[in-house]
Amino acid sequence: MSTITPNYLMFDKFINRLELIGTLTTVTALRISAGRSIEPIGSDLPVMKDAFGRPLIPGASFKGALRSRLESILRAINPDFAANPAIEAEWSIPSRTIENERKEVIKEGIDKLKEDTEKELEGDPLKVLKQDKLLTEKILAKTDLASHLFGSPWLASKFQVRDLTVDPEYWFGQYQERDGVAIDRDTETAADGKLYDFQVVPAGTPFYFKAVVENAEEWELGLLMIGLHQFETEQIPLGGGRSRGLGVVRLDIDKMRWVDVENNPQFLLEYLQKLVMEDETAYEDAADYKDEWVRQLIKHLNNKMIQHNKTVIRTEQ
């Protein structure tokens, strides 16, 4: 296991890598819509497809559902642990400082952090060398926990998911068509012109799953393990029509390949050689580390809550 990676060393050098390989299977029918069709014949609402006309689950859909679930868990512990990525005013660090009518700072933005860094290093002969590192540390200290792993407008994501493509061995073009209708509340019958059909991928369809995490800290990997377990136990649905029972999926991870080369150049050279030779011993089985990563997550969350409580006490005093 590695020591905790210094926060300012995000991607300037290779430290560790976790590869996740498995299968995502639809437990119920799945509908990830490609938008309204413009074809004269066919479904009104077709599903997302690849260039071969086979169903496709965008990596962004999987990542978004995973992030949303983990954000809800983190907010239940402390609302500050997960920001709202859809609204800038609710980011943990907006691009510009947000003030009220009295010019009081409500939330510090990137501009304020840059200004504070400039003042802190004013007159320092090593200002140019220290400035980027110090600013990075300030930004990371204020970044919500979810964004550390999944990224934000000011921070690159450590977690990457490929588009999930269907296993062609089990796919025979068996799309299902279902009808939808809007009900007139007065007559309790189908409203005029409101009948439509939509396409779904049937239950039991397997998709290839592959994801990569690089340069993650142990607590971030623990957070990811919690989220993946939610997919493994069918607790995170995907796509539309979820209130109708659509979108239940199950993730089965076949391989968790881990390599940690931090502060070990010789091991890095051996890893690269084995990688080129397609030698599986280049990786360790990450299953051996899952429990420790989750323990590190719990420890990190406890420390963050202690810090938060101390800040609240100081503010009230």
Shortest CA distance to 145 belongs to which of 86, 82, 92?
82
254/70 Cα distance (integer angstroms): 22
Q: What percent of the chain has pLDDT over 90?
A: 61
State which residues form the domain around 286. 16-80+157-316
pLDDT at 277: 93
On whether residue 89 sits in a domain, the answer given is no
| pLDDT tens per residue, range 166-199 | 999 988 888 877 666 666 566 655 555 566 567 8
Task: Give the residue with greater pLDDT, 32 vs 139.
Answer: 139
On whether residue 112 sits in a domain, the answer given is no
On whether residue 178 sits in a domain, the answer given is yes
Task: Give the residue with greater pLDDT, 160 vs 241.
Answer: 160
Most confident of 10-19, 42-51, 125-134: 125-134
pLDDT at 175: 83
Q: What is the mean pLDDT of residues 262-282?
A: 91
pLDDT at 9: 46
Count of domains forming the chain:
1
Q: What is the mean pLDDT of residues 283-289?
A: 93
On whether residue 67 sits in a domain, the answer given is yes
Mean per-residue pLDDT over the chain, rounded: 86
| pLDDT tens per residue, range 77-116 | 999 999 998 899 899 999 999 988 888 888 899 999 999 9
On whether residue 270 sits in a domain, the answer given is yes
Does 42 have pLDDT greater than 50? no
On whether residue 114 sits in a domain, the answer given is no
pLDDT at 191: 57
On whether residue 250 sits in a domain, the answer given is yes
Does 30 have pLDDT greater than 80? yes
Shortest CA distance to 74 belongs to which of 309, 315, 300?
300
